[in-house]
A = this chain, B = another copy of it.
Amino acid sequence: MTTPEENKLIYYVKKWVNITKDDESAILSAFEQASIRKKKDLLVPGEICKYNYFIVKGCIRTYYIDDKGVEHIYHIRFDNNWAGDLESFFSQKPSKYYIEALEDTQYIRISKDRLDQLYDEVPAFDRYFRILFQKAYVNTLKRLNANMWEPAIDRYKDMLKEHPDMFQRVPLTYIASYLGITPESLSRIRKKNNQ
């Protein structure tokens, strides 16, 4: 956790947009490097999400707690993915979510003001996020559809296939919540699936 590692942000940005060497340094210098310990929170309800986070190495979950005190997980993200409460970040209004490290995590972060500045400085970064959000939107629609019309066992099998790593790094309870079912149901699904 002490030695800062190289981040792959530029590599991933370049997958979608063309940027100059100058853009690269403008982007990198807009971020601060930091880290957080397992089980610690980057954000708690009531706080404004002041930063957008790019995970260099580690694991982050976003969740909220409903009226009955039950946790519901929005996403679980690993290395080289973004985390943050976009709504609170964009509007700079209080969030209702927890953002928590599930592993010791290294990240880089950017504030709203700095990001807005960067968008002006490097229009390609605007485009990068346009593409990213478009993809996130399409993926979420698919996740929604699967939740509406596919049985939980199919969603489970899909996850096994698409994110096998998840089962190595994340407790089943959290995976269940992400899949939209209870831990008990996931346990039964897994039992059935192994027979």
**Contact, CB under 8 Å: A119 / B127:** yes
Task: Known A126-B127, A130-B126, A130-B130; judge A180-B137 contact (CB<8 A).
Answer: no
**Contact, CB under 8 Å: B145 / A86:** no
Interface: A141 (CB within 8 A): yes
Which listed residue (B70, B126, B133, B136) contacts A123, Cβ 8 A?
B126
Contact size class for A? 20 to 34
Cα distance, A80 to B66, chains bound together (Å): 34
Q: What are some 22 contacts across the A-B interface (CB < 8 A)?
A: A70-B149, A72-B148, A72-B149, A74-B141, A86-B134, A86-B138, A90-B134, A119-B127, A123-B126, A126-B127, A126-B130, A127-B130, A129-B134, A130-B130, A133-B134, A137-B140, A140-B141, A144-B144, A144-B147, A147-B148, A147-B180, A149-B180
